Amino acid sequence: MNPNRRIKTAVLGATGLVGQEFVRLLADHPWFELALLTASARSTGLRYAEAAAWAVPGEMPRLARAMEIVPCSARLLSESGVRIAFSALPAAAARGVEAGLRAGGLAVFSNAGAHRMDEDVPVLIPEANADHLGLVRRQIASHGGFIVANSNCTASGLALALKPLEPFGIRTVVVASYQAISGAGRRGLSAFDIAANVVPFIADEEEKVERESRKVLGRLDGAGIEPAPFAVHAGCARVPVRFGHLLSATVELGREPAPAEAEEAFVSFRSAPQDLGLPTAPERPVIVRPEEDRPQPLRDVHAGSPERAQGMAVTVGRLRRQGRFLSFFLLVHNTVRGAAGTSVLNAELALRRGLIAP
Amino acid sequence: MNPNRRIKTAVLGATGLVGQEFVRLLADHPWFELALLTASARSTGLRYAEAAAWAVPGEMPRLARAMEIVPCSARLLSESGVRIAFSALPAAAARGVEAGLRAGGLAVFSNAGAHRMDEDVPVLIPEANADHLGLVRRQIASHGGFIVANSNCTASGLALALKPLEPFGIRTVVVASYQAISGAGRRGLSAFDIAANVVPFIADEEEKVERESRKVLGRLDGAGIEPAPFAVHAGCARVPVRFGHLLSATVELGREPAPAEAEEAFVSFRSAPQDLGLPTAPERPVIVRPEEDRPQPLRDVHAGSPERAQGMAVTVGRLRRQGRFLSFFLLVHNTVRGAAGTSVLNAELALRRGLIAP
Amino acid sequence: MNPNRRIKTAVLGATGLVGQEFVRLLADHPWFELALLTASARSTGLRYAEAAAWAVPGEMPRLARAMEIVPCSARLLSESGVRIAFSALPAAAARGVEAGLRAGGLAVFSNAGAHRMDEDVPVLIPEANADHLGLVRRQIASHGGFIVANSNCTASGLALALKPLEPFGIRTVVVASYQAISGAGRRGLSAFDIAANVVPFIADEEEKVERESRKVLGRLDGAGIEPAPFAVHAGCARVPVRFGHLLSATVELGREPAPAEAEEAFVSFRSAPQDLGLPTAPERPVIVRPEEDRPQPLRDVHAGSPERAQGMAVTVGRLRRQGRFLSFFLLVHNTVRGAAGTSVLNAELALRRGLIAP
Amino acid sequence: MNPNRRIKTAVLGATGLVGQEFVRLLADHPWFELALLTASARSTGLRYAEAAAWAVPGEMPRLARAMEIVPCSARLLSESGVRIAFSALPAAAARGVEAGLRAGGLAVFSNAGAHRMDEDVPVLIPEANADHLGLVRRQIASHGGFIVANSNCTASGLALALKPLEPFGIRTVVVASYQAISGAGRRGLSAFDIAANVVPFIADEEEKVERESRKVLGRLDGAGIEPAPFAVHAGCARVPVRFGHLLSATVELGREPAPAEAEEAFVSFRSAPQDLGLPTAPERPVIVRPEEDRPQPLRDVHAGSPERAQGMAVTVGRLRRQGRFLSFFLLVHNTVRGAAGTSVLNAELALRRGLIAP
């Protein structure tokens, strides 16, 4: 794409951890231009370098440093020629703001939970349910623009790992999570509470994992999305790790897989983003580690190639079979594949599918 | 019991973490006397204060400080009047040594895995399967003495929490563990590997959890112990926590429990050790925390009263029902209830049951 | 003292970590009665068990659980018969509230920094400067009641370890701190910032250490307190440890100590609280560990006997001499000896010295 | 330099953390070719990918993966055309092996402590004492080859930060360290000992810091190196951090620096490696952070540009003056600038200075 013709984008809530990941991914994106940054009122008017305490890998992109934080208004975005908004807004703010931008004709790719369970909003993970993107045509008809949600960070990893197992028939999913402190945001978790401890509670997380992974793997028909017909039982806990949500999963399948069959299903899994060569798509969405002690957050969180797709692959390891039950560990980068990265990938898919005028 | 008539006991492998817990629990035990300490050859002849780097709560008991480490020989123990040996030996050493002591007529209460799957050796958790103790009469007939094993630390917690659920009918158990570094022993885990990380692998742990919890909850009949007829699927991981193994469990039951029924089953659970008033028995073996974010290793690991039974209660929290599926978190003190504490309780039960001459 | 005649006390700011230590220390105090608890407006009217997330060792005292949080008013305290207020108020609130209570005739023992540098307020560590307590007579004359401050947590440990070195002549003190996260309060420090990290900054801490340790070790004369005539250079950093501030100190002395002379000075150090047998006084204020790798926060933070004085002794180790320079490591329990514990000891001294009517 | 004419090098002890950093830095070095890898006997014959548990950033270089571990013999190295050996050997092995290679005519750049205090072996930090390299001519005359040591990891950082302060006159240096667990090697430190703890002891570290920083900053004259004439007082402690040694330093200077003078001295500091454009030289050897809470291990450990020099700059922050006393915090990457990186830089300097035939 002609770099002079890149599509202008805005990052809403650009100073938090997920906002920073958006900035990192968009600063040199081949199709998108990082044109506007918004944040809360107390940051408005500051340079991004002053407003954001950079905490994701690498240095703050030079381009972003000097950008001025602006208030989040549909009019301002439109007048600036922005056609895509990436939202890292907190849940409370997101609902109204995102709907307003949609009404203003924008394409909103959101990491917030506000609209995920709306009937006409897809919870999109392009490798798992690219067809759900069709839902947005209904939104365009009603609202002018549209919202595409990505799922909760933990559900993102789980859904991506379940997708290749669909041919075996998924009956029941039991999952326990070991979630990184970055998932609570830069200041969301007190050091005193989690240091050398595990806290087996994350507000609403288990419900989100259960609900959203079933929606992602659900079936789109004329009436909307029918959730996948299996039960999910999730237990979610916070551990003193910085980045990377690890999951211990046990899946009851409809038939017993042959010895290497499940592993082969993971390894060979490719989907729309790979076929279309989307810029942020990992070559292999699911990486299987053969070692006896992987995946580990510290070692595997950045899995994914090419370089632009680091953190976009989920890593699976320690596959064990017991009859029709398959158990494994799974690691997902919570602020990349579980948040900003999937949103960017969603936008790339929407552009390719012609839902955003180039 | 007359303190002058307390039964002489030895701790085998007294310098490690589990050995230290034995020393702590026996130093002022009302029925047992801490009479002998053994350790590896390089410690022989040293005072315990010189040989052991004390790392469990409180100060090293004054009594133990001056005791001399002796080699582990059946003859030496017998000549010293020792009738009970508590074993914290490493697996490799345990098999032969423990069998030797049994042949010498001793009662061996072992934390080692060596004999756990022997047909005539019970894996005993007095609250769960006090009747299995009957197996030792077969050993006495064959060998003179006997061995009673306690289960793997993780299985101890799981079996204890499953016991009160038996009336609902246990169909399938899926469990993921968050295990403390102390479970690997004082020097078993490298700081570089686990700092700010999770390692989803502990050698043989999942097999032990699956096998031993089914043996503990199995049925003793004329032929031996028939394992419990449900499948266990375990995923075990190490987390950077010092003491306390947390478990996320989902249990498929035969019937759906009424709203507070499962909680009530845990809360009201009492068993033989409580009925008999054994000194190391916790008043309530299973404590249910009502808070939304408990149990936590740092806060709940020492649960259990009276003071002698601290660490002997398991803590359950966050009960959730989904049809016939019950999910909860569970915490067990890995070196107390999961190791030394249960061994001491086993010895107390055996004494009360007349298997050791007073 | 007749338990029925114990002096009524209030804890101000009772729900935070330091407030909890006050509650723990006062719940069964032989001279003081825990009569009133105050906290911020949103806790008023709640039971202490509902308002405080207990996070210090042991269980919340039964007595305290049912106490109702009341607003902090001089009138209410007076009408309740309270004569001593222990303040764990945040700095901003402390200045006015404490002055108001003093005007109401109360004795205020404060952990807040608000009045520490007032000319007529002693910063009291009874083992170091019991004579400074004389300053409060000036306050009584002017205000009716009085305020006694204890020093900043880090300065408390440093001053206590410097006191026994005074006979050598202290010329210069250089100190670096490794401070526990509890020093920032229950929610003062973000997990994301400190996990597997060191943060070399604690607001105003270095100035406090430098200023307060010189005031504590200063000389009281007719005009007030003349700060000790040596320079202190402090570098303060936060480390991912829960309780216990460790210090690396190098002290330039006026003369070179003989080989064991400094150690002997620490070991033999006793002072007014020990002579008077105050209930919260540690038998030995400074404990010297002979091991090559102590003191360590995890192992030594609770140093001090009898049981009531756990955490009241500072632990010194690794003494090294290089001419007139003496280097050592030092550990102080930041919320006990560095906060609530010293305040309670201060009140005990004031009572014994007749400054509070029995 | 013609890539076909690069100088063949060997890494001794290639599987440990420092060995891995050597491999990483040499895999695509413009002047040096990674030709041979040695390790302990049990790794001999294995591929590097099998023998080394890669634990430094990035992926194991493809080139290295397939290389076979060979035994460390002077003859084998010579026959392979190796002219430079980079040693990450443990201290015990290093002394004899390195002397043997020197006798065989090789240039040995060593991270081991074995020869650091030899009279004719320079402890080289090119920014601080490039002239000391002249010492090796004496070795060449006596032995054929030569050994260049780099200093202990902590001393490396300290000496580099003291160098720009020499114009002020350095009288006394007091330093406390916060050292990362990687400094103890992959398996050198038990998780149980350091988790949520600080251990104020690292064997021989304080002596090394005191001795080596004075040698590095000493004066080379006809008789050898005269240590710098100031005293160093070091207190060294291990903290639960993965990479990066932080130091709190207070330096007594001969004269009081003007307000921004010390900062300016750090910022403007350049030396031989920068003048010569050595490939692994950082553009700015000392980076000064203006923030109130930096340097931090997690955020600043990789400081240094260009990309090849990441981890080669030390970061200074929080400068404070008190008369002639200057205090600051300092961060050094312990396995890069404190170990492998400086060795590689030393070799680059030696090559440029003509001490190794191109």
Q: Where are the alpha helices (DSSP H) in A178-302?
A: 191-194, 205-216, 261-267, 272-276, 297-300
User: How far is residue B279's CA from residue A325's CA, in Å, rounded to a whole number?
Assistant: 42
Q: In the structure, what pLDDT confidence band is assigned to residue C59 with cuts at 50, 70 and 90?
A: confident
Among candidate residues A116, A208, A70, the one with its CA nearest the CA of residue A108: A116
Catalytic residue among A29, A153, A236, A302: A153
Is B296 near chain A, with CB under 8 Å? yes
- Is A333 catalytic? The answer is no
CA distances for B95 relative to B114, B188, D354, angstroms: 5, 21, 65
* pLDDT of the residue at C5: 85
Q: What is the DSSP letter of C244?
A: -
Chain-centroid distance, C-alpha B13:
16
Query: Which tokens sit at C319?
Result: 């003494």
- What is the overall mean pLDDT for chain C? 96
Q: What is the pLDDT of residues C253-288, one digit of tens each?
A: 999 999 999 999 999 999 999 999 999 999 999 999
* pLDDT of the residue at C1: 52
Residues 160-199 of A with CB under 8 A from B: 174, 176, 178, 196-199
Contact yes or no for B51/B15 (Cβ under 8 A): yes
Q: Which of C178, C199, C292 has the CB atom closest to D237's CB atom? A: C178
Q: In the structure, what pLDDT confidence band is assigned to residue C91 with cuts at 50, 70 and 90?
A: confident
- Is A72 catalytic? The answer is no
Q: What is the pLDDT of residues D72-128, one digit of tens each?
A: 988 999 999 999 999 999 988 999 999 999 999 999 999 999 999 999 999 999 999
Query: Which tokens sit at B341?
Result: 């504490």
Chain-centroid distance, C-alpha D209:
13
Mean pLDDT by 10 residues, chain B (358 residues): 80 97 97 97 95 91 96 91 96 93 96 94 98 96 97 97 98 98 95 97 97 98 93 98 98 96 98 98 97 96 96 98 97 98 98 91
* pLDDT of the residue at D208: 97
* Shortest Cα distance, chain B CAs vs residue D11, angstroms: 23
Element (H, E) at C243: none
Is C355 near chain D, with CB under 8 Å? no
User: How far is residue B150's CA from residue B153's CA, in Å, rounded to a whole number?
Assistant: 8
In one letter, which amino acid is D162?
A: L
Q: What is the pLDDT of residues A61-99, one digit of tens each?
A: 999 999 999 999 889 999 999 999 999 999 889 999 999
User: How far is residue B163's CA from residue B151's CA, in Å, rounded to a whole number?
Assistant: 14
Q: What angle do CA D349, D40, D143 make, to 5 degrees?
A: 45
* Shortest Cα distance, chain D CAs vs residue C82, angstroms: 40
Residues D189-201 have a mean pLDDT of 97
User: How far is residue B52's CA from residue B61's CA, in Å, rounded to a whole number?
Assistant: 12
Q: Inter-chain contact B195–D240, Cβ cutoff 8 Å?
A: yes
* pLDDT of the residue at B129: 98
CA Rg, chain B, in Å? 19
Question: Which chain D residues are Cβ-neighbours of B190 within 8 angstroms?
Answer: 186-191
In three-state form (DSSP H/G/I as H, E/B as E, the rest C), the secondary structure along chain D is CCHHHCEEEEEECCCCHHHHHHHHHHCCCCCEEEEEEECCHHHCCCEHHHHCCCCCCCCCCHHHHCCEEECCCHHHHHHCCCCEEEECCCHHHHHHHHHHHHHCCCEEEECCCCCCCCCCCCECCHHHHHHHHHHHHHHHHHHCCEEEECCCHHHHHHHHHHHHHHHHCEEEEEEEEEECHHHHCCCCCEHHHHCCCCECCCCCHHHHHHHHHHHHCCEEECCEEECCCCEEEEEEEECCCCCCEEEEEEEEECCCCCCCHHHHHHHCCCCHHHHHCCCCCCCCCEEEECCCCCCCHHHHCCCCCCHHHCCCCEEEEEEEEECCEEEEEEEECCCHHHHHHHHHHHHHHHHHCCCCCC
Q: What is the pLDDT of residues A105-116, one digit of tens each?
A: 999 999 999 999
User: How far is residue A9's CA from residue D185's CA, in Å, rounded to a whole number?
Assistant: 46
CA Rg, chain A, in Å? 19
Among candidate residues C106, C144, C123, the one with its CA nearest the CA of residue C346: C123
Catalytic residue among D132, D245, D302, D333: D245
In A, minimum Cα distance to D55 occurs at A299
User: How far is residue D247's CA from residue D239's CA, in Å, rounded to a whole number?
Assistant: 12
* Residue B3 CA neighbour count, 13 Å, CB half: 6
Catalytic residue among C29, C143, C153, C302: C153
What φ, ψ does residue D49 adopt, rounded to 5°? -60, -30
**Which residues lie below 8 Å from residue D233, measured CB to CB, with a gap of 6+?**
C174, C250, C322, C325, C327, D172, D173, D174, D175, D210
Question: Which chain C residues are Cβ-neighbours of A195 within 8 angstroms?
Answer: 181, 191, 194-195, 240-242
* pLDDT of the residue at A57: 85
Residues D297-322 have a mean pLDDT of 97
* Residue C354 CA neighbour count, 13 Å, CB half: 2
- What is the overall mean pLDDT for chain D? 96
Contact yes or no for D247/D315 (Cβ under 8 A): no
Q: What is the pLDDT of residues D241-299, one digit of tens each?
A: 999 999 999 999 999 999 999 999 999 999 999 999 999 999 999 999 999 999 999 99
* pLDDT of the residue at A58: 85
Q: Give the residue ranges of chain A where pLDDT is below 50.
A: none
Q: What angle do CA C248, C254, C255 make, to 5 degrees?
A: 100
Q: Which of D55, D195, D299 has the CB atom closest to A196's CB atom? A: D195
Q: In the structure, what pLDDT confidence band is assigned to residue C58 with cuts at 50, 70 and 90?
A: confident
Residues C63-82 have a mean pLDDT of 94
Which of C233, C241, C243 is the best substitution to test chain D (most D C-beta atoms within 10 A)? C233
